[in-house]
Amino acid sequence: MPRGGEAKIAIIGGTGFEEVLEGAREIRVGTPYGFPPKLIVGEVSGREVVLLARHGPGHEFPPHKVNYRANIWALKALGVERILATNAVGAINLDIKPGDIVIPHDIIDFTRSRDQTFYEGPEVVHIDVTEPFCPELRSVLVEVARSKHPRVHDKGVIACTEGPRFETPAEIRALRVLGADLVGMTISPEAFLARELEMCYASICFVSNMAAGVQDRLTATEVLEMASKLREVVRAILVEAIPRIPEERNCPCSRALEGARI
Ligand code: HPA
């Protein structure tokens, strides 16, 4: 497992969050899985924070081509213990609307072509994901989000599809029957890889659209438009959440490998 010490908190998300960092500087980190996009390290309220744009600085990696292992490994190598992710999602649950913010609590994984683990053998590891998102980070995000935005859902099941196409209406009906509230393309394997390296991970999901078949038609343009509309509030949530994250971890994430090895 890599170790380092530049930053303890990471933000994974779109571009446009650089302004929140004081003294920002770019760094490149190599990993056994290749290079992640450039990382930006700086400070938020006196805490060292590293920023990673998962789709690349020019949004050149589609969700199924993001090098999730390189990204998560590089953050671990820098000493990151906590990851705050931002994810665009469509709403399956009709009580959730475009413009809402959801702090999800569980995942249904429907990806199929992505490298899902750091443990390809001979070391075999089965991590527990009974609680796939860090409870400590989630409670900070829920509290702060509620103080910044009128429509916040404190839990939700997010289904992750392979993409890059949007879903069919029948797929969305199936996901609803299975219990999904939201659908996106990037939470898996990101959240699971973080757990494999004993990092805390939680997500701020912003709802850009109703899922396929609920609204007329889906466009990538509306996803981008909602991302830019909500960028300011997501940024405000991050800036206020970071200093409220306890210095010491009191969650099970840091012990994820205990009893997980065969
Ligand atoms: N489906 C999958 N991913 C998404 C969606 C969606 O409707 N909206 C934003 N990301």
State the 10-residue block means of pLDDT for the chain, 262 residues long.
Answer: 67 81 92 96 93 90 96 97 96 97 98 97 96 98 97 98 97 98 98 98 96 93 89 93 94 95 92
CA distances from 101 to 10, 85, 126, 164 (A): 20, 13, 31, 22
Identify which of 207, 194, 228, 226 has the alpha carbon closest to the alpha carbon of residue 158. Answer: 207
pTM given for the model: 0.96
Does ligand 1 lie within 6 Å of residue 184's CB atom? yes
Give me the pLDDT at residue 57, please.
84
Give me the pLDDT at residue 6, please.
67
The rounded Å distance from CA 191 to ligand 1 centre is 17
Give me the pLDDT at residue 14, please.
67
Give me the pLDDT at residue 3, please.
44
Paired sense of beta strands 39-44 and 157-161, if any: unpaired
Does ligand 1 lie within 6 Å of residue 63's CB atom? no
The rounded Å distance from CA 192 to ligand 1 centre is 20
Cβ contact 98:210 at 8 Å: yes
Domains defined along the chain, listed by start: 9-255 (3.40.50.1580)
Does ligand 1 lie within 6 Å of residue 166's CB atom? yes
The rounded Å distance from CA 115 to ligand 1 centre is 21
The rounded Å distance from CA 211 to ligand 1 centre is 7
* Residue 209 Cα: closest atom of ligand 1: 8
Does ligand 1 lie within 6 Å of residue 183's CB atom? yes
Paired sense of beta strands 182-184 and 157-161, if any: parallel
Separation CA 17–CA 236 (nearest Å): 10
79 φ/ψ angles, rounded to the nearest 5 degrees = 100, 10
Does ligand 1 lie within 6 Å of residue 90's CB atom? yes
Give me the pLDDT at residue 1, please.
46
Does ligand 1 lie within 6 Å of residue 208's CB atom? yes
* Residue 223 Cα: closest atom of ligand 1: 9
Question: In degrees to the nearest 10, what's the CA dihedral of 178, 180, 181, 185?
Answer: -150
Does ligand 1 lie within 6 Å of residue 223's CB atom? yes
Residue type, 161: T
Does ligand 1 lie within 6 Å of residue 127's CB atom? no
